[in-house]
Amino acid sequence: MRFMMLMIPAVYQGPGESPAAPTPEAIAEMSVYNEALVKAGILLAGDGLHPPEKGARVKFAAGRKPVISDGPFSEAKEVLGGFWMIQVRSKDEAVEWARRCPAGDGDVIEVRQVFEPADFES
Amino acid sequence: MWRIESAAVIGAVARIVRDLGLAEEIAHDALIVALERWPVSGIPDNPGAWLVVTARRRAIDAVRRKRRLSEKQAALARELSLRHDGEEDSVERVALDEFGDDLLRLMFTACHPVLAAESRVALTLRLLGGLSTDEIARAFLVSESTIAQRIVRAKRTLSRAKVQFEVPQGAELAERLESVLGVIYLIYNEGYTATAGSAWMRPELCDEALRLGRMLAERTPAEPEVHGLVALMELQSSRARARAGSNGEPVMLLEQNRAAWDPLLIRRGLAALDRALKAGSVAGSYTLQAAIAACHARALTAEQTDWNEIARLYMLLGRVSPSPVIELNRAVAVSMASGPEAGLAILEAVATHPALQNYHHLPSVRGDILFKLGRLPEAREEFNRAAALTRNERERKLLLSRAQACLQV
């Protein structure tokens, strides 16, 4: 089963400020964590995202053309900072891995299963 | 959590007690202690390290209690207890990569050539995969007690043969690594060849094999064939969603909808192949098979397939692991690259091989080539022969319809 671990950093929850650059210790800790995922043979993909102020949003409404707005997204409560996609045997296992992430105070990781064709078979 | 940590804990204990059965028991004891304590004290920051430290302590006690202390073992026990005094300090000192060697040792031990192939598979899935006896039984369509006995006997065999719990070195490494790779690929193929709609465990076997392969590759980065096998599995898995049609019928590679191929797994497969080629000077069997799979993966459409390259790779593969089936596949590639006449020549050279006499692909390929050469009555005969040889109903129907098509041109 595949799961996304979606990182919602504390800094991106609420009116936007740019996060301070991560400390060398934080980078090292996250490297160790990513290494662990690789060594366990479960990491399929993972990357960080550029900050919201560099991004854009496309908002859809019926009967109208989509509206495009540039970041930062002041009205958004939870904005993504990065993701991992892992291959594990159960949701419990995915949650356990997420729990071990050396995330910062207030960070949230949302764990969501990825649809696979087998899920569509009745 | 136990699924994540169990192999590392068993490995760490096995290094001390040198007995897989006892190691498993002690590891489970540590888990029970955790299950009793953690609801009260909270889950430790590094649960794996906690379990290993706890299990090691019990293992040292077991070694002291159960064995006569020869000088060597007394020294070992003293050395270990010196290293691990003070629970809090030890947990911090146990770095994640310390587990790496133990997992490797466990893998080599579970795949030891002294065991029968099916025992190696069961033991590997049990100790490294953390699968239950029941799950393993369902995957191989045998009874749970069969697997349970197989595992018990395997541990006993290892014990009696005094198999050392260690990573083989030097000259022994190549043969032992071949055994490990063989077990992993066996598990993968067991999952891959499952037909749609059979026991739900089967695709999970592919996932498990891939995971074990990736884990192994991380710990033996200099071994080209390990990366080769991982590349082969990633690439084969990339086609999983395109392999079955809407009625569950198998779809041949050249007819598959390539939009359904998984680009993530293709990218991973190509990266692993790259590592394999960089790690070794002469490509081995898994690496070559992966390279062939990569040729298909790189082609955006069937028409864009680089058949010359595939033919060349089959030639190299035939040198590394000679087999009439490989030669037959080479005939197909050559007929695609250089025309059916050239392919036919290669096919005829291998057609009398005893191993191919009941192999339905031989007449099937010959029929296809003869059809392309316009030799229709002969093609029809071959398709009928192939249809009679195959045991797969869908394939039989397909071959008969091809035979029929020879009359209508």
CATH number where A110 lies: 3.30.70.1060
- Is B67 a residue whose pLDDT tops 50? yes
Mean pLDDT of B64-85: 59
pLDDT digits (tens, 9 = 90+) for B147-160: 999 999 999 999 89
Lowest average pLDDT, out of B191-195, B334-338, B399-403, goes to: B191-195
Tell if the CB–CB gap between B204 and A89 is shorter than 8 Å: yes
Mean pLDDT of B51-78: 73
Residue B81 is predicted with a pLDDT of 58
pLDDT digits (tens, 9 = 90+) for B237-290: 999 888 877 776 778 899 999 999 999 999 999 999 999 999 988 999 999 999
In a mutational test of the B interface, the residue from A34, A39, A114 whose CB has the highest number of chain B CBs within 10 Å is A39
Mean pLDDT of B380-389: 94
Terminal C-alpha separation, chain B? 63
Cα B17 to Cα B22, B57, B94, B171, B355, distances in angstroms: 7, 11, 19, 26, 47
Residue B79 is predicted with a pLDDT of 61
Tell if the CB–CB gap between B218 and A39 is shorter than 8 Å: yes
Among the partner residues A41, A90, A97, nearest to B214 by beta-carbon distance? A41
Read off the pLDDT band of A19 (50, 70, 90).
Answer: low
Whether the Cβ atoms of residue B26 and residue B116 lie closer than 8 Å to each other: no
Read off the pLDDT band of A118 (50, 70, 90).
Answer: low
pLDDT digits (tens, 9 = 90+) for B79-110: 665 554 444 334 444 443 445 678 888 999 99
Cα B152 to Cα A35, B104, B118, B121, distances in angstroms: 34, 21, 13, 13
Alpha-carbon span B50 to B38, nearest angstrom: 11
In angstroms, the separation between the Cα of residue A81 and the nearest Cα of chain B is 21
Contact B241/A at CB under 8 A: yes
- CB contacts < 8 A, A to B, total 45
Q: What is the pTM of this model?
A: 0.83
With CA atoms as reference, the chain A residue closest to B45 would be: A100
- Is A38 a residue whose pLDDT tops 60? yes
Mean pLDDT computed over every residue of chain B: 87
Interface predicted TM-score (ipTM): 0.84
With CA atoms as reference, the chain A residue closest to B230 would be: A41
Cα B8 to Cα A21, B14, B103, distances in angstroms: 35, 10, 6
Contact B100/A at CB under 8 A: yes
Alpha-carbon span B263 to A44, nearest angstrom: 11
Mean pLDDT computed over every residue of chain A: 88
Whether the Cβ atoms of residue B307 and residue B336 lie closer than 8 Å to each other: yes
Helix axes of B285-298 and B224-238: crossing angle, nearest 10 degrees? 40
Residue A83 β-bridge partners: A6, A47
Contacts of B258 (CB under 8 A, 6+ apart): B242, B299, B300, B301, B302
Contact B213/A at CB under 8 A: yes
Alpha-carbon span B336 to B307, nearest angstrom: 6
Tell if the CB–CB gap between A93 and B4 is shorter than 8 Å: yes
pLDDT digits (tens, 9 = 90+) for A66-83: 999 998 887 777 889 999
Domain hosting residue A58, numbered range? 2-116
Contacts of B162 (CB under 8 A, 6+ apart): none
State the total domains in chain A.
1
Q: Is residue A92 domain-resident?
A: yes
Read off the pLDDT band of B183 (50, 70, 90).
Answer: very high
In a mutational test of the A interface, the residue from B43, B50, B96, B229 whose CB has the highest number of chain A CBs within 10 Å is B96
In chain B, the percentage of residues whose pLDDT exceeds 90 is: 55
Lowest average pLDDT, out of A106-120, B66-80, B147-161, B163-177, goes to: B66-80
Selection from B323, B338, B394 nearest residue B369 by Cα: B338
Alpha-carbon span B66 to B243, nearest angstrom: 54
Q: Which residue has the tokens 């579970």?
A: B110
In angstroms, the separation between the Cα of residue B251 and the nearest Cα of chain A is 16
In angstroms, the separation between the Cα of residue A116 and the nearest Cα of chain B is 9
Q: Is residue A84 domain-resident?
A: yes
Selection from B15, B28, B29 nearest residue B76 by Cα: B15
Residue B86 is predicted with a pLDDT of 42
- Is A49 a residue whose pLDDT tops 50? yes
Q: Is residue A121 domain-resident?
A: no
A45 contacts on B by Cβ (under 8 Å): 264
Contact A68/B at CB under 8 A: no
Whether the Cβ atoms of residue A43 and residue B268 lie closer than 8 Å to each other: no
Burial string for B161-179 (b: 16+ CB within 10 Å, else e) reads eebebebbeeeeeeebbbb
A38 contacts on B by Cβ (under 8 Å): 214, 218
Q: Which amino acid is at B272?
A: A
Helix axes of B201-219 and B133-140: crossing angle, nearest 10 degrees? 110
